[in-house]
Structure 1
Amino acid sequence: MSAKNVNPSDDKVFCPVCKREYDKEIIEKHVNKCLFLNVDVSKRNGSHFDENCSQQKRIKIDVSPVRSTLENTCTGPYKNMSKVLLKESPKSSATYELSNKPSKQSSSALINDSKNIPLAESMRPMLLEDIVGQVESFGADSMLYSMLSKKKIPNMILWGPPGCGKTSVANIIANICKEQNNMRFVKLSATMCGINDVKEVVKVAKNEIKFKRQTVLFMDEIHRFNKLQQDTFLPHVENGTITLVGATTENPSFSLNNALLSRCRVVVLSKLTVHDVLLILERAVVRKELAVVVDSISDKLVCGDQKKCVIERQSLQWVAEVCDGDARVALGALELALSAAPEHSQHVIGLEDLKRGIKRSHMLYDRQGEEHYNIVSAIHKSIRASDDNAALYWTTRALHGGEDPLFVARRLVRAAAEDIGLADPNALVEAVACLQGCQQIGMPECDVLLAQCAVRLARADKSTEVYRAMKSVQRSLTEAKGPLPSVPLHLRNAPTRLMKDLGYGKGYNMKHRDESGLTYMPEGLEHVNFFDKENGG
C-alpha cells in the first residue's frame, strides 16, 4: 500500500488493513475494529489457546508510507489511529499473513510436531458420532446430543474418571465452534493457569460480544480452583459473557461451588467398558495403519505388507482388560508396544510380549477422593450383610490401591460396634487388636490382619440393638422443645457441703433400680425406653 491511497484533500481515507474507503470521522473507529478482527489471536489472548486461530486471516501491511499522511490528515482525536498502527508495528511496519497456507518452514515444523503427538491425543474424536461409550449422556437419543447437533452449547460440568472422554467431548465442542463464525473456543487448564488468565479471557469475551461472537471456555481440572476462585465464573456465566464447560475427576458435590453447580448441568461420564476400549484400540490400529490385526499368529502369512507389525486380537483384548476403563492408558500401552517393535521387518506382537512389557499396575483409586469413601463403604456394608467373600474382596482391593491400612482398621472397629454389638462382644476386642497390630507392623505385613478381621466380622452374629437405641436418643435430643431436663438431685455428685445442703445426692442408694425406689431418667422421661421399637430402638 502506498501513500497515494490517502488523499489529504479528500474527505475519504483508505483503511490500511482492508483497503476500503471510509469517511475521516469514522476511520479511527473502523481501523481499531479492523485491526482487532485480523490481528493474530495470540496477541489478543496472550498465551491462551484459541481453536479459531487457524481460521484467522492475517494481512501483510506496510504502514510506513502512510504513517505521516495519516498523522497529517486525521487531526484532533483521530490522530490516535496512527498510534494504534505504531503499537502494532514497532519496526515501522505491521506484518500479517494474508493466506492461511503455512510456509514451507512452518509445514515441516508441523510435520515434525505431528510425529511427537501421542496416539491418545491424535485419536480424539472430531464428531459426535465418533464418541465411543457414554451412550446415556451423548447417545443419539440423549438431550445433549440433540443440543450439540444444533450447535447449541450449554453450561456444563463433565464429571468422570480419567480416560473416559471428557477432553474428547471438549474437542468436539471446539470443532463445533470452529465451524461457526459467531463462536469462539478457548481452552484453559486449572493446573497451569490462575484467576488472572480467566479474567483476561472474560475481558476478550466481553469485547467479542460486541461483534456478536460467543466465547466457550473449556476449563480442564476445574476442581483445582478453590471455592473462592470458582466465584470468578459466576457473574460471567450468569449474564452469558462466557459459556463454561468444565471437566473434573472429583465429585462436584464436594469440589465445586454450589452456586456454580446451580448454573451448570452436571454430565456424568462412566468408566469405559472393555468392549469400548477394544473398539478404540482397533480403530486406532486401522486408521493410523499401525499394524495388521489377526485372530492368530498363523494368519500373518496372509498379510501383504511385510513391513507392518502383526498384532493378535487377543493381545488388544488383554490391553483393554488391564487398563481399568482408561482409554488413554490403553492407547499409550499400545503405542509403547508398537514403538518397541523393530523397523523394516514384519514383527509379531503376541500376548506374552505385551505381558512382559506392560505390567498391570493401573487401577482407579484416589486416596483423597470419592473412590476412597466408596471402597470403605463397600467393606462396611458387606460386613453388615454377612458377605465374607465381598468383605474380603473390597478390603484387599483397598489395600491394593494404596489405601492407608489404619483407615480400614478404624472402619472395622466401627463396624464391630455398630453392626455386631452385643451379639458377639469379642468382635470389638478383636477389631481393636487388629488396629493395634496394624499400627505396630504396618504394610505390607498387616494386610492379612485386615483381611482376617473383615472376614471374622462378616461371619459374626449381628445385633444393631445398641446402635439403634443410641440413634433414638440422639433423635430425642434433637427434637426436644425448650431446655433439656436437668439431672435429678439424687443422681448428682455432692463433693462440697454447699451441694449437700442443696440436696445433691440425697436419698441415693446402690440397689437395683427395681428395689431402690429411685428414677434414673430425667423428669418427663421416666417411662421412656429407647430400646423399644416404638421409639426406634
Structure 2
Amino acid sequence: MAKNDRKFGKRTVLFMDEIHRFNKRQQDTFLLSVEKGEIILIGATTENPSFIINSALLSRCRVIVMEKLDPNDLNSILERAADKLNVDVVDVENPCGVINNNEGVAIESSALKWLADISDGDARIALTNLQLVLQNSNNDGKIITIEDIKNGIKKSHMLYDRAGEEHYNIISAMHKSIRGSDANAALYWTTRMIVSGEDPRYIARRLVRAASEDIGNADPNALQLAVTTMQECQLLGMPEADVLLAQCAIYLARAPKSREADSALAKAKTVIANCKGLQPSVPMHIRNAPTKLMKDLGYGKLQNGDEFCFMPPELKGVDFFK
C-alpha cells in the first residue's frame, strides 16, 4: 500500500512501538522498504538500539535519545496536572494548614517536588504517583503533605532492567569502582543492584571476576573471599546475603591491585591468535612418556644440541609479563 501511495505523491509513516520485541530476523522485513524510501520508519524502544536493533537497519536510521527528565521539569508537569485536576498547590508556609473550600483538594508544593524526585526522570511514573495519592487521600479539606503520601509510595522507581542496558551499566560501574579502589562507590553500586532485585549470585560472580582480574596475586585472599561469598549467596539467598556482597565489595575496593594475570592472559591470547600456520608443538623433552613406544620416539628426552626450554622454540624469548 505504501509503495502504491508513493506513486501518487503520498508518503507513509510506519510507527513501531516497542520495536525491540521484533527479533533481528523479523526486523529485516522493514529493511527493503526503508532502503527504497517506501516508508518512513519510526521505532520506539526503551532498550539500547546497539544491542537489539538489526545493524543493517540501524545503519539506515537516525537514533534520537530521549533522556530522563529533570526533576524540575517533572515538577512543572505535576503542577500542570494538578491544575487540570482542580487540585490546589499550596506552599508549606500556609499558616492555617487547611484550604478554604472544603470540597476541594490541596497538596503541598514540597510534596509535589518529592514525587518528582522519586520518579527517576519518568513523567508516566510521576503522574501515576500523583493519581494514586489523590485517589487514596481522605483529607476532608486538609492539605496533603509529604508524610501523608510517603507510606503509600515507599521507595523510588529506580531504572533497572535485568536484560537491558542499565543492568550492564551498573555492574560495570561496580567493577570499575573496585578497580579504582573507591570503596564508597563500590558499595553504592552494589547496593543499587541489591535493592533493585538483582540476582545476588550474579553480583557475586562479577565480584569473583574482579578479585582475579584487578587484584590477582597482589592479595590472593581476595579471590578466596569472593568465591566464599558466591557460595554463601547460593546457600543463604536474599535478604540475608546482602551484607556478604557489601563486605566483599568493600574488601575488594580496599585491596591492593594487580592486573598482571589479566594483562598477561590477553598477550598470550594475542600470540596464539596471530600464529601463522600450525600452532607450535609441545617440545619433546617436556612431554610425558608413559609407554615404551613413546620413550623410543624420544618423548621426555632432550635431544643433543637442543636447549632446554619450556616454551616452543618458535616462541623463545617471548615474555608476557613485560
Q: Measure the CA separation in 1 of the matches of 2:85 and 2:190.
A: 43
| Aligned-CA RMSD value | 2.1
**1:246 aligned counterpart, secondary structure:** strand
The equivalent residue for 2:61 is 264
The range that moved more, 304-313 or 443-452, is 304-313
Q: Which deviates more from structure 2 when the two are superposed, residues 211-220 or residues 440-449?
A: 211-220
Q: Residue 531 of structure 1 aligns with which residue?
A: 321
Structure 1 residue 338: deviation in Å? 2.0
- Counterparts of 1:49-128 in structure 2, within 5 Å, are none
* Distance change (3 Å), C-alpha of 1:482 and 1:301: closer
- Decide whether aligned partners of structure 1 residues 297 and 311 sit closer, same or farther in structure 2, where only a CA change above 3 A counts: farther
SS in 1 for 2:225: helix
Residue in structure 1 matched with residue 297 of structure 2 by the alignment: 502
Mapping of residues 243-392 of structure 1, within 5 Å? 243-286=40-83, 288-296=84-92, 298=94, 306-341=102-137, 346-360=141-155, 362-392=157-187
8 Å contact kept, 1:250–1:369: yes
Query: How far does the alpha carbon of each residue in 1:434-488 deviate from its partner, in whole angstroms, 9 at most, with x for none?
Result: 1111111111111111100010011111111222111111111122222221111
Structure 1: distance between partners of 2:150 and 2:97: 24
CA distance in structure 2 between the partners assigned to 1:346 and 1:214 by the alignment: 54
Match runs of 1:80-229 below 5 Å: 203=1, 205-229=2-26
- SS of corresponding position for 1:265: coil
In structure 1, how many angstroms separate the alpha carbons of the residues matched to 2:85 and 2:93?
18
SS of residue matched to 1:353: helix
Partner Cα separation in structure 1 for residue 72 and residue 88 of structure 2: 19
- 1:404 pairs with 191, 199, 202, which one? 199
CA contact (8 A) 1:216 1:243 kept: yes
8 Å CA contact 1:300, 1:310 repeated in 2:
no
Show CA shifts across 1:356-407 (max 9, x none). Answer: 2222252211111111111111111111111011111111111111111111
CA distance in 2, matches of 1:327, 1:300: 32
Supply the distance in 1 between the matched residues of 2:96 and 2:85 (Cα, whole angstroms).
16
With the length of structure 2 as denominator, give the TM-score of the two structures: 0.93
Distance in 2 of aligned mates of 1:333 and 1:302: 22
Matched, 1:442 2:237: yes
Contact 2:120 2:156 in 1 (8 A): no
Query: How far 1:211 moved relative to its partner?
Result: 3.6
Q: Which amino acid aligns with 2:200?
A: P
Superimposed CA distance per residue, residues 16-61 of structure 1 (whole angstroms, 9 cap, x where no aligned partner):
xxxxxxxxxxxxxxxxxxxxxxxxxxxxxxxxxxxxxxxxxxxxxx
Q: Tell me, yes or no, if structure 1 residue 429 matches structure 2 residue 224.
A: yes
8 Å CA contact 1:294–1:300 kept in 2: the answer is: no
Kindly tell me: are residues 247 and 299 of structure 1, through their superposed partners in 2, closer, same or farther at Cα, counting changes over 3 Å? farther
Q: Is the 8 A contact 1:214 1:241 kept in 2?
A: yes
Q: Distance in 2 between matches of 1:332 and 1:440?
A: 38
Summarize deviations over 1:42-85 as a string: whole Å, max 9, x none. xxxxxxxxxxxxxxxxxxxxxxxxxxxxxxxxxxxxxxxxxxxx
Q: Secondary structure at the match of 1:470?
A: helix
CA 1:465–1:341 in 2, change beyond 3 Å: closer, same or farther? closer
Task: Report the secondary structure of 1:293's partner residue.
Answer: strand
1: CA distance, partners of 2:93 / 2:18: 43
Runs (4+) of structure 1 exceeding 4 A deviation are 299-306
Q: Which amino acid aligns with 2:155?
A: R
Distance 2:76 2:35 in 1: 40
Cα separation, 1, equivalents of 2:116 and 2:181 = 33
What secondary structure is seen at the aligned counterpart in 2 of 1:263? coil
Q: Structure 1 residues 389, 339: closer, same or farther in 2, change over 3 A?
A: same
CA contact (8 A) 1:421 1:462 kept: yes
Aligned residues of 1:341 and 1:347 also touching (Cα < 8 A): no
Higher normalized contact order (CA 8 Å, seq sep 6+, divided by chain length): 2
Number of residue pairs aligned between Structure 1 and Structure 2: 320
Mapped to 2, the partners of 1:453 and 1:374 lie a distance apart of 20
Map of 1:518 onto structure 2 = 308
Counterpart residue type for residue 219 of structure 1: M
Change (3 A) 1:431 1:301: closer
Give yes or no for contact 2:108–2:145 (8 Å, CA) kept in 1.
Answer: yes
Question: What secondary structure sits across from 2:94 in the alignment?
Answer: helix
Measure the CA separation in 2 of the matches of 1:276 and 1:463. 45
Give, in whole Å, the separation in 1 of the partners of 2:206 and 2:137: 48
5+ unaligned residues in a row in structure 1: which ranges?
1-202, 509-516, 533-537
CA distance in 1, matches of 2:108, 2:75: 12
Alignment equivalent of 2:264, drawn from 452, 460, 469? 469
Deviations along 1:294-330, whole A, 9 cap, x unmatched?
A: 1126267896755331111100010011111111011
1:193-220 CA-partner distances (Å, limit 9, x unpaired): xxxxxxxxxx3x2343344221111111
Residue 234 of structure 1, CA deviation: 0.9
The structure having more radius of gyration, on CA atoms, is: 1
Identify if the C-alpha distance between structure 1 residues 340 and 429 changes in structure 2 by more than 3 Å, giving closer, same or farther: closer
Give the Cα–Cα distance (whole angstroms) in 1 for the partners of residues 269 and 79 of structure 2.
58
